[in-house]
Amino acid sequence: MKQQSIGSRPQWNKTRVSSQLGIEYPIIQGPLGGLSTQRLTAAVSNFGGLGSFGAHGWSPSAIRDVISEIRALTTKPFAINLWVSMEGEGARTSGSEAFARSLAPLAEHIQALGGTLPPYRPYVSIKFEDQVRALLDAKVPAFSFIYGIPPKEILDECRAQGILTMGTATTPDEAIVLEQAGVDVIAASGFEAGGHNGREETTSMILIPAVSAAVKIPVIAAGGIATGRQMLAAMVLGAEGVQMGSRFVASVEASAHPDFKEKVIQSVEGDTVLTMKQLTPVRMMKNDFYRQVQEAEWKGAAIEELKALLGRARAKKGMFEGELDEGELEIGQSSVLLHRILPAGEIVKKVWNEFCEGLSSPVKML
Amino acid sequence: MKQQSIGSRPQWNKTRVSSQLGIEYPIIQGPLGGLSTQRLTAAVSNFGGLGSFGAHGWSPSAIRDVISEIRALTTKPFAINLWVSMEGEGARTSGSEAFARSLAPLAEHIQALGGTLPPYRPYVSIKFEDQVRALLDAKVPAFSFIYGIPPKEILDECRAQGILTMGTATTPDEAIVLEQAGVDVIAASGFEAGGHNGREETTSMILIPAVSAAVKIPVIAAGGIATGRQMLAAMVLGAEGVQMGSRFVASVEASAHPDFKEKVIQSVEGDTVLTMKQLTPVRMMKNDFYRQVQEAEWKGAAIEELKALLGRARAKKGMFEGELDEGELEIGQSSVLLHRILPAGEIVKKVWNEFCEGLSSPVKML
């Protein structure tokens, strides 16, 4: 079957996202929570993408050190990612009426069980204002965030300093709220993603066009994207760039335990599932720990029970210490498409080449 | 923002699927269960797509009449769709190890609750062999099926008579089994679809490339596709055509109640949810009936209880009689992207034009 050429290739990499960020390719590495490292962030940026460092839970002084360490490794733009709200769930969904509607019956159900639906509280209590101050003082090139919207004065200061801001939306409603607040770029996080999923279960095939139609600012696709052809599909749907998490978990530079990385690239279709929707929706691999969570949810466990079962230690156990049965293994559905652990720079090059090949042969033709 | 042209347009419509089916555009109308009509099937075929008629539950003589009625309305190719197995669930998943794995804990759970996980039984009992004999005698151009694989002698007879066969897979494993059985085309049904969903919740963004990599025969994307740009995205991911269900539910010719069609085009993100996974996974709109199902599932209802709650009458009530609160409203996630009820022929033309526009401006560039 011959592949039909689409003729001479223009500068496909020039989107608003790559231009605003000053990067070569509109390929953004997901912050990966605790799995990002200074080496990973710098490698992605050095090879033309945007490296991100997940600094949620880090103290302001630790954040200052991280920024210096990244700058010692690259002169290219990079992003630092924070949780805006220490009560993430409530804040993330500000403005999402659809979410509020969907949550109502669940809240009633949990109350009926004697439980409540409290806002999520992280394991350490650090002031967001102090964390973000560290970023502003260090004049980082880009500031990405989830679980809410920074105060107006912070967004204004970012704009004044030329710090690009990127917020995460799981519904068109949330994207509209972020745009109205003056955020520069929207990351649309689909059902496929390894974390920060919406409860509506809207997939990237639907969310990307829906969010792109809802806002004027650029949208990047985050959720299920791991290859260059998927990147092209996402951009055909309206995205101007992609954010890949799982793909970079399976990178040499990520801090994930080698056994977890191996499990990710060995995984097959059906190995991940979105769970913990009553608490913090997260996609995890089906293992003994997941089955414990599932059993608890089947029995109609109250929030506190699920929180006790989860605990932060479970994620640390699974993803850092490589306890693949008893630990929590967060990963996206795209892990099915991953087969090799590669250096982050090679991943950026490979995805970009696949994207360009896709443009020169978008459709299998006779 | 200028749209970058990809230059002269080749005959993008010539894929293996359009060629094997002898249709102008690789756009297939989903069978829509009872919502398809002879008028709808013929209209889609007359405008260059492939119309399908869902004949599950129809007697052989009724099927013969339907075929004659469709042929009175079009000379173009069309498909008749059947359920292979009267125990659909069990049969559909033959060969899916991933499915078997995922089902085990659920079966245990249901047993623990005093329930069982029986094969699904439809509301009427008609022999598949008699239904398919009606198709073979009438020499229909295409025979599509779900919930299993027809016996080898039937597939052989289809091949001998030049009847193209299309099977539905919800996992790469199922696609491989269908290919090995000698089926001509695979319809990959993603999490977004309005029905016949897999329990693995694999979305089209992942399923299309995964299934395309698993088989050599052509794959069509079924699940979440309602626009021409989505069609292009699906084909960039490896599909050689698309099957659209929800889009044609919102057509003038579909037999859905006007109020249901109106509800579909008014729906917003988050209005549908995949449910009834213990019985027959189906995506439905969130209404009073759905909340009754949800409550039952939260309480750990046994299969028989869910079946009693569902009942076929609920679908009839909702989709045909327009009882939007108490009826079952099956629809795909793509309903969010639908805003108008159009004649089926206009839908085919519109989707194809959007597809071609997408090819001439695949990426938003500066």
Question: pLDDT tens-digit profile of A92-122?
Answer: 333 334 333 433 443 444 444 444 433 333 3
pLDDT (average), residues A70-83: 97
- Rounded CA-CA distance B34/B135 in Å is 18
At residue A298, the pLDDT reads 74
pLDDT tens-digit profile of B80-132?
999 887 443 333 333 334 333 433 443 444 444 444 433 333 334 678 899 99
Q: Which residue of B has its CA nearest to A210?
A: B337
Checking if the pLDDT of A309 tops 80, the result is no
Residue of B27, B101, B204, B206 to mutate when probing chain A, most A C-beta within 10 A = B206
- Give me the residue from A205, A229, A238 closest to B203, CB to CB: A205
Decide if A204 and B203 are in contact by the 8 Å CB cutoff. yes
Q: At what angle do helices B303-315 and B288-298 cross, to 10 degrees?
A: 170
Using a CB-CB cut-off of 8 Å, the residues of chain B touching A198 are 270
By percentage, how much of chain A surpasses pLDDT 90? 68
Torsion of CA A126, A282, A310, A261, to 10 degrees: -90
A169: helix, coil or strand?
strand
Q: Which residue of A has its CA nearest to B223?
A: A205
- What's at B168, amino acid-wise? T
DSSP string for residues in B2-27 = PBPP--S---TT--HHHHHHT-SSSE
Which residue spans within A233-271 are E strands per DSSP?
Answer: 242-244
Using a CB-CB cut-off of 8 Å, the residues of chain B touching A14 are 365-366
Decide if B202 and A333 are in contact by the 8 Å CB cutoff. yes
At residue A70, the pLDDT reads 98
At residue A283, the pLDDT reads 93
- Rounded CA-CA distance B23/A39 in Å is 53
- Are A340 and A250 spatial neighbours (Cβ–Cβ below 8 Å)? yes
Decide if A201 and B274 are in contact by the 8 Å CB cutoff. yes
- Are A272 and A283 spatial neighbours (Cβ–Cβ below 8 Å)? yes
Using a CB-CB cut-off of 8 Å, the residues of chain B touching A270 are 98-99, 101-102, 171, 198, 200, 202
Using a CB-CB cut-off of 8 Å, the residues of chain A touching B358 are 236
Residue B299's CB is within 10 A of a number of other CB atoms, namely 13
pLDDT (average), residues A270-289: 87
Using a CB-CB cut-off of 8 Å, the residues of chain B touching A363 are 12, 15, 232, 235-236, 240, 359
Decide if B206 and A334 are in contact by the 8 Å CB cutoff. yes
Contacts 24+ apart (CB under 8 A), A122-129: A122/A56, A122/A57, A122/A83, A122/A86, A122/A88, A122/A312, A123/A57, A123/A312, A124/A57, A125/A86, A126/A57, A126/A58, A126/A59, A126/A60, A126/A86, A128/A82, A128/A83, A128/A84, A128/A85, A128/A86
**pTM for this entry:** 0.88
H/E run at residue A254: none
A14: helix, coil or strand?
coil
Which pair of tokens denotes residue A296?
A: 């608890």
What ipTM does the predicted assembly reach?
0.87
- Give me the residue from A227, A237, A268 closest to B229, CB to CB: A237
CA A298 to chain centre: 28
- Give me the residue from B102, B233, B295 closest to A237, CB to CB: B233
- Rounded CA-CA distance A219/A238 in Å is 8
Decide if B236 and A236 are in contact by the 8 Å CB cutoff. yes
For residue B101, the distance in angstroms to the closest alpha carbon of chain A comes to 9
pLDDT (average), residues A2-9: 42
SS3 string, B88-128, reads: HHHHHCCCCHHHHHHHHHHHHHHHHCCCCCCCCCCCCCCCH
- Rounded CA-CA distance B140/B129 in Å is 16
Q: Which residue of B has its CA nearest to A335?
A: B206
Tokens 């073979």 sit at which residue?
A: B136
pLDDT (average), residues A5-11: 50
- Rounded CA-CA distance A173/B290 in Å is 23
pLDDT tens-digit profile of A208-234?
999 999 999 999 999 999 999 999 999
For residue A134, the distance in angstroms to the closest alpha carbon of chain B comes to 33
Q: What is the DSSP letter of A335?
A: G
Decide if A291 and B105 are in contact by the 8 Å CB cutoff. yes
CA B275 to chain centre: 16
Interface A-B, measured as beta-carbon pairs within 8 A, has a size of 212
Decide if A236 and B224 are in contact by the 8 Å CB cutoff. no
Lowest mean pLDDT among A280-294, A321-335, B102-116: B102-116
Using a CB-CB cut-off of 8 Å, the residues of chain A touching B201 are 191, 273-274
Checking if the pLDDT of A2 tops 80, the result is no
Decide if B295 and A209 are in contact by the 8 Å CB cutoff. no
Decide if B6 and A11 are in contact by the 8 Å CB cutoff. no
- What's at B158, amino acid-wise? C
Using a CB-CB cut-off of 8 Å, the residues of chain A touching B11 are 365
What stretches in chain B show pLDDT beneath 50?
1-8, 86-124
- Are A336 and A269 spatial neighbours (Cβ–Cβ below 8 Å)? yes
- Rounded CA-CA distance A208/A221 in Å is 6
Sequence-distant (6+) residues with CB within 8 A of A42 are A51, A70, A73, A74, A76, A78
Which pair of tokens denotes residue B365?
A: 């560039």
At residue B118, the pLDDT reads 34
Which pair of tokens denotes residue A48?
A: 């033309």
Using a CB-CB cut-off of 8 Å, the residues of chain A touching B223 are 205
- Are A197 and A189 spatial neighbours (Cβ–Cβ below 8 Å)? yes
For residue A110, the distance in angstroms to the closest alpha carbon of chain B comes to 10
Residue of A17, A19, A206 to mutate when probing chain B, most B C-beta within 10 A = A206
Query: Helices (DSSP H) in chain B: which residue ranges?
Result: 16-21, 38-46, 60-73, 88-92, 97-112, 128-138, 152-161, 172-180, 204-214, 228-236, 246-249, 258-266, 288-298, 303-315, 344-360
Which pair of tokens denotes residue B364?
A: 């938003």
Q: Burial level of B53, CB count in 10 A (0-12/13-18/19+)? A: buried
pLDDT tens-digit profile of B180-189?
999 999 999 9
- Are A251 and A347 spatial neighbours (Cβ–Cβ below 8 Å)? yes
Higher pLDDT, A362 or A281: A362
Q: Which of A102, A190, A270 is nearest to B285 (CA)?
A: A102
HSE-CB of A292 using CA atoms within 13 angstroms: 15
pLDDT (average), residues A321-346: 96
- Rounded CA-CA distance A271/B292 in Å is 30
- What per-residue string of b and e applies to B190-206 under the rule 16 or more CB within 10 Å gives b? bbbbbbbbbbbbbbbbb
Computed over every residue of chain A, the mean pLDDT equals: 86
Which pair of tokens denotes residue A223?
A: 């959720």
Q: Which residue of A has its CA nearest to B226?
A: A206
Lowest mean pLDDT among A72-81, A255-264, B81-90, B166-175: B81-90
- Give me the residue from A200, A227, A295 closest to B209, CB to CB: A227
User: What confidence category does residue A196 fall into, taking pLDDT thresholds of 50, 70 and 90?
Assistant: confident
Decide if A206 and B337 are in contact by the 8 Å CB cutoff. yes
